[in-house]
């Protein structure tokens, strides 16, 4: 009789520990995912900051303006088309 009671208590304890362990493992997986997303966001932010800083230089500003079709005063614009 004593063995059955001990066995029942052990089974109940095991059942009580299953849910917290599952929750812990799920939280660990979520944390890993969020850390990866944070690292990705930091990389994107660093790229954007570098691009912003580079656009502050005259060379990059002129390059971007040319890409968008702007010209300096006194220049003659022309376009090349394929036939």
Cα–Cα distance for residue pair 18/11, rounded to 1 Å: 11
Residue 21 structure tokens:
């362990």
Q: How confident is the model at residue 59 (pLDDT cuts 50, 70, 90)?
A: confident
How confident is the model over 3-54, as pLDDT tens digits? 889 999 998 888 888 888 999 999 999 999 999 999 999 999 999 898 888 7
**61 and 55 Cβ atoms separated by less than 8 Å:** yes
Whole-number pLDDT of residue 40: 97
């Amino acid at each position: 009789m004593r063995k059955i009671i001990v066995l029942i208590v052990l089974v109940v304890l095991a059942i009580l520990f299953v849910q917290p362990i599952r929750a812990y493992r799920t939280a660990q997986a979520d944390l890993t995912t969020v850390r990866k997303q944070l690292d990705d966001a930091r990389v994107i932010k660093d790229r954007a900051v570098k691009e912003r800083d580079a656009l502050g230089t005259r060379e990059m500003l002129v390059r971007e303006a040319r890409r968008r079709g702007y010209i300096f005063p006194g220049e003659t614009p022309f376009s090349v088309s394929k036939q």
